[in-house]
Amino acid sequence: MGLQEFWFILIAVLFTGYFVLEGFDFGVGMLMSVLGKTDNRRRVLINTIGPVWDGNEVWLIVGGGALFAAFPDWYATLFSGFYLPLLIILVALILRICAIEWRGKIDDDRWRRRADLGIMIGSWVPAVLWGVAFANIVRGVAIDADKKVTSSFFDLLNPYALLGGITTALVFALHGAVFIALKTADDVRIDAADLAKKLAIPTVPIAGGFVLWTQLAYGKGWTWILVAIAAVAVIAIALLTRSEREGWAFAFTTLAVIATSVLLFASLYPNVMPSTTDPAFSLTIENASSSHYTLMVMSWAAVVLTPIVLIYQGWTYWVFRKRISTKHIPPSIGLPPKAGSTKAG
């Protein structure tokens, strides 16, 4: 295995880790209006991801940095050609970050409602658009001889990509519902488990259809193994959510996300951005990579630093592993509201 292959695999691992970890973060935010019937319940939902959500986003930052350093042409073509959807994702993530961080700063009902809306928008939008973006990367877009994307924004809204967006939204919502059931107690846990059962009904056939389409249109012979793993995972999720075994259900939602993400990257290889204009214009791991020396230096840094980051993040999850409920939520200590606003009860 050469350095280009090593870095392609590492980037796939980073984005897969992001989808697994940030996936349930998005799911929690997406379900705020459904499971957060009172302010205390919404605070429980936020606190399930409170200690870890910002660490989960680091996977995206590192993945983007690795993409820029290892495959600069891939980075340039992707971020210029997908400028609008990626900008929308970035704005949504910023909105979500600000809403989570500032929600408790002012003790005011309207302030919190607006923050909750920001959390939901900042969760739903990336959950859909990441699926649309990665489906288009695998499917291919119009790229010319100068490595520039000539497709328009509306060209990205093709049936396969839209199915990819619906799939990621449903999978992340289910992933989040199972995580909430795993991390909470009392009535929040019961409602989350019940919602997970309902979400599994549309998620199984839609996600299965997207995976099968990906395999038939872009997959390879050996990637049928990944299709089988994803199929077993989604079936297990449907059964485990019914029996309310949220620990195992979360393990299988994680497995489903991993199998789907690996299938996408495996279907893409050795291309990194296929061209629908002319296959000769496609970006590959060979013609889009940095120099051998650059990749060598980066590889040594990755070998040294990656285990440290993984150990630290694993320790964080272990420390904050206990369930929480509305009984654990203290009174709000935010600043008093401005004159004319509705004070919280």
| Confidence label for 234 from pLDDT (cuts 50, 70 and 90) | confident
Question: What is the pLDDT, as a whole number, of residue 176?
Answer: 95
The class level of CATH for 3-308 reads: mainly alpha
Q: Phi-psi region for residue 340, left (φ > 0), alpha (ψ -120 to 50) or beta?
A: left
**C-alpha span between 208 and 159 (Å, rounded):** 15
Per-residue pLDDT at 337 exceeds 70: no
Instruction: Give the DSSP per-residue string, 20-58.
Output: HHHHHHHHHHHTHHHH--SHHHHHHHHHHHTTTHHHHHH
Q: Is residue 326 a contact partner of residue 186, using CB atoms and an 8 Å limit?
A: yes
The type of residue at 47 is: N
Report pLDDT digits (tens) over 49-108.
988 988 899 899 999 999 999 999 999 999 999 999 999 999 999 999 999 999 988 888
3-state secondary structure of 108: strand
Binning pLDDT at 50, 70 and 90, where does residue 342 land? very low
- The CA distance from 133 to 160, in Å, is 11
CA dihedral 19, 23, 26, 27 (to 10 degrees): 160
List residues bridging with 283 in a β-sheet.
273
How many whole angstroms separate alpha carbon 209 and alpha carbon 205?
6
Given this model, what pLDDT does residue 333 score?
66
At residue 324 the predicted structure's pLDDT band, cuts being 50, 70 and 90, is confident
Report pLDDT digits (tens) over 18-61.
999 999 999 999 999 999 888 889 999 999 998 898 889 989 99
Is-contact 67 13, C-beta < 8 A?
Answer: no
Q: Omega into 72 within 30° of 0, i.e. cis?
A: no
